[in-house]
């Protein structure tokens, strides 16, 4: 008893009277050993290199996507996971064609731009129109419709750099829904300042959505320097005209797949600790950070734990999701196919925020199970990871698990530079640092091992507030 108490104290859990501590002394020791082993060096960078060199870009439904599924299957098998298989997922098939644009007046310049993902094409000769600049969706509402009608709306909203990536959420609505609002106001096309924190002439793509009740208009993102230039011309007070040509194709649906591999639990194989990442990327680049790094982190985490002499009590399941970027197809398919076992998903986390170090550990567990999450947090502290709150939203692919009240966790990576390359051609292997990936694996391995081995689970996650419409 004394020994057990010392053990849980070392892990920072003070059990309720008469309860077993979440983490036994032996589990704390084993988790710490895994953590230190990972810190000493992992294969994560090599796995990421293999994905970016042997596959590269892998947008939903593309040849690269199919190659990525094959890569995922052979990699998980090679690295010793069990029950490696794919689960079919239907994905929308949108194919980027050429996109170009230029300022015509008052000062002519070519523009570095890309179609937003899902944008319809312009007429072959393009659209030529005057540009009206607004700062946000809110600002657009304040503009008189006659000032917008027949024009190209330029959403000039900057993305703030932030460690927690919060600048993205504040800015991204002009990308995802700007075309709907602009079209409702009578605009003929949309240009946005890239949702990104860099100053490279490599524009950021990303998903955009239409409303079937509103005419679909083309939308493209300018690189930040090009947005600066367009804004400078507009600031001159002269009317500014732009020509925009976009040619994309909608090809219905295509086949893709979630890739799954496991370390079967030795005592409760039916209980699942889910380690998620997404296998797809945008089409502009090899998606090293988004989300090659996440794939490498969760794969290497599983490989490391699979090497432990005694397998954890619960099953650790790695899922590399299909088509996160363009509609969460894989996540929805998984939630549906695994509906019956979602109640036995005792924990889920997704690595989908690049390759920088983990700095905060957030949770979403039953209030009475906070001590268990805190105990894991104590084991993460030596990695420079602070304990965050209990209100994490988890990753995008975990959204369909919310209704089942699956406990969620976020090992938050430093996002200060993530949005420099996110959804651009610049998302390449060199942006990942091997030692930072090792720290990630150390954090994920610590978390996953503890969650799979601990006494009791995390209960039911608190429900999410209803979305305001």
225 near its own copies, rule: CB under 8 A: yes
53 near its own copies, rule: CB under 8 A: yes
> Which residues face 189 on adjacent strands?
152, 218
55 near its own copies, rule: CB under 8 A: yes
Q: Supply 399's token pair.
A: 């959204």
Judge whether 99 and 191 are in contact, CB under 8 Å.
Answer: no
Could you say which DSSP state residue 343 is in?
Answer: G
237 near its own copies, rule: CB under 8 A: no
Q: Tell me whether residue 70 is exposed, middle or buried, using C-beta atoms within 10 angstroms of its C-beta: 0 to 12, 13 to 18, 19 or more.
A: middle
Selected catalytic residue, list 133, 262, 271, 324: 324
Query: Least distance (Å) from its own copies to the CB of residue 211?
Result: 34
Judge whether 255 and 101 are in contact, CB under 8 Å.
Answer: no
Stretch in the footprint of its own copies (CB under 8 A) among 126-134, 232-240, 244-252, 300-308: 232-240
Instruction: Spell 257-271 as b/e; 16+ CB within 10 A means b.
Output: bbbbbbbbbeebbeb
Stretch in the footprint of its own copies (CB under 8 A) among 32-40, 49-57, 316-324, 367-375: 49-57
Distance of CA 46 to the CA centre of its chain: 21
426 near its own copies, rule: CB under 8 A: yes
Among 286, 294, 312, 395, binds its own copies (CB under 8 A): 286
In a 13 Å sphere around the CA of 178, the CA atoms on its Cβ side amount to: 36
Site for its own copies in 118-177 (CB under 8 A): none
431 near its own copies, rule: CB under 8 A: yes
Among 29, 37, 74, 109, binds its own copies (CB under 8 A): 109
Closest to 458 in 3D by CA, of 389, 397, 407, 423? 407
Could you say which DSSP state residue 207 is in?
Answer: B
54 near its own copies, rule: CB under 8 A: yes
44 near its own copies, rule: CB under 8 A: no
Query: Least distance (Å) from its own copies to the CB of residue 50?
Result: 10
Q: By C-beta, is 12 or 203 nearer to its own copies?
A: 203
The verdict on whether 270 is a catalytic residue reads no
112 near its own copies, rule: CB under 8 A: yes
Q: By C-beta, is 95 or 229 nearer to its own copies?
A: 229
Q: By C-beta, is 364 or 431 nearer to its own copies?
A: 431
Site for its own copies in 189-208 (CB under 8 A): 199-202
Stretch in the footprint of its own copies (CB under 8 A) among 171-179, 230-238, 261-269, 318-326: 230-238
Place of tokens 């920072």: 12
216 near its own copies, rule: CB under 8 A: no
Among 9, 32, 56, 162, binds its own copies (CB under 8 A): 56
Query: Least distance (Å) from its own copies to the CB of residue 357?
Result: 19
Task: Calculate the CA dihedral of residues 110, 114, 119, 123 and round it to 10 degrees.
Answer: 30
Q: Which value, in Å, is the radius of gyration of the alpha carbons in the chain? A: 24
DSSP string covering 344-400, please? GEEEEEE--S-SSPEEEEEEE--GGGHHHHHHHHHHHGGGTPEE--S-----GGGGG
Neighbours of 456 (CB within 10 A): 13
Among 65, 233, 280, 352, binds its own copies (CB under 8 A): 233
Q: How far apart are CA 178 and CA 120, in angstroms?
A: 14
Distance of CA 340 to the CA centre of its chain: 25
Stretch in the footprint of its own copies (CB under 8 A) among 221-229, 252-260, 404-412, 447-455: 221-229
Stretch in the footprint of its own copies (CB under 8 A) among 24-32, 48-56, 319-327, 394-402: 48-56
Judge whether 292 and 421 are in contact, CB under 8 Å.
Answer: no
Stretch in the footprint of its own copies (CB under 8 A) among 52-60, 177-185, 346-354, 380-388: 52-60
Q: At what angle do helices 25-39 and 293-306 cross, to 10 degrees?
A: 130
285 near its own copies, rule: CB under 8 A: yes
Among 166, 236, 238, 253, binds its own copies (CB under 8 A): 236
416 near its own copies, rule: CB under 8 A: no
In sequence order, the 6+-apart residues with CB closer than 8 A to the CB of 177 are: 137, 208, 209
Among 6, 123, 214, 232, binds its own copies (CB under 8 A): 232
Question: Do the strands 99-105 and 241-246 form a parallel or antiparallel pair, or are they unpaired?
Answer: antiparallel
Distances (CA, A) of 276 to 219, 296, 359, 394: 31, 11, 19, 10
Query: Least distance (Å) from its own copies to the CB of residue 339?
Result: 38
Residues contributing to the site for its own copies (CB under 8 A)? 49, 52-56, 107-109, 112, 199-202, 224-225, 228-229, 232-233, 236, 285-286, 425-426, 428-431
Question: Would you please indicate which residues are annotated as catalytic (active-site) residues?
Answer: 324
């Amino acid at each position: 008893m004394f020994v057990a108490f010392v053990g849980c104290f070392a892990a920072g859990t003070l059990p309720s009277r008469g309860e077993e501590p979440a983490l036994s002394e032996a589990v704390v020791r084993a988790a710490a050993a895994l953590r230190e082993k990972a810190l000493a060096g992992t294969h994560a960078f090599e796995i990421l290199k293999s994905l970016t060199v042997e596959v590269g870009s892998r947008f939903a439904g593309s040849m690269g996507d199919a190659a990525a599924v094959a890569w995922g299957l052979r990699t998980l098998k090679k690295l010793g996971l069990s029950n490696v298989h794919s689960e079919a997922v239907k994905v929308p098939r949108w194919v980027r064609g050429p996109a170009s644009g230029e300022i015509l007046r008052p000062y002519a310049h070519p523009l570095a731009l890309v179609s937003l993902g899902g944008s319809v094409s312009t007429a072959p000769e393009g659209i030529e129109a005057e540009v009206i600049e607004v700062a946000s969706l809110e600002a657009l509402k304040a503009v008189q419709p006659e000032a917008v009608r027949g024009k190209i709306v330029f959403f000039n909203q900057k993305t703030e750099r932030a460690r927690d990536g919060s600048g993205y959420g504040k800015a991204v609505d002009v990308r995802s829904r700007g075309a709907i609002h602009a079209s409702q106001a009578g605009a003929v096309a949309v240009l946005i300042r890239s949702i990104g924190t860099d100053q490279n002439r490599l524009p950021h793509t990303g998903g955009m959505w239409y409303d079937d009740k509103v005419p679909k208009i083309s939308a493209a993102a300018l690189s930040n320097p090009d947005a600066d230039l367009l804004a400078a011309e507009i600031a001159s007070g002269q009317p500014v005209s732009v020509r925009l040509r976009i040619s994309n194709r909608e090809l219905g649906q295509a086949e893709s797949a979630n890739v799954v591999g496991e370390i079967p639990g030795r005592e409760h194989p039916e209980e699942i600790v889910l380690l998620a990442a997404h296998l797809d990327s945008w089409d502009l680049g090899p998606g090293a950070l988004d989300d090659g790094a996440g794939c490498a982190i969760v794969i290497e985490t599983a490989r490391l734990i699979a090497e432990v002499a005694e397998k954890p009590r619960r099953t650790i399941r790695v899922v590399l999701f299909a088509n996160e970027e363009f509609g969460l197809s894989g996540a929805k398919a998984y939630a549906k196919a695994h509906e019956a076992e979602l109640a036995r998903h005792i924990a889920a986390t997704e690595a989908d925020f690049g390759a920088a170090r983990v700095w905060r550990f957030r949770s979403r567990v039953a209030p009475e199970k906070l001590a268990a999450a805190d105990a894991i947090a104590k084991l993460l502290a030596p990695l420079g990871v602070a304990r965050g709150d209990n209100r994490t939203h988890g990753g995008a692919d975990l959204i369909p698990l919310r209704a089942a009240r699956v406990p969620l966790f976020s090992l938050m990576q430093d996002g200060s530079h993530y949005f420099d390359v996110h959804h651009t051609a610049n998302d390449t292997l060199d942006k990942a640092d091997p030692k930072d990936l090792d720290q990630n694996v150390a954090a994920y391995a610590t978390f996953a091992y503890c969650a799979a081995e601990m006494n009791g689970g995390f209960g039911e996650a608190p429900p999410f507030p209803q979305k305001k419409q």
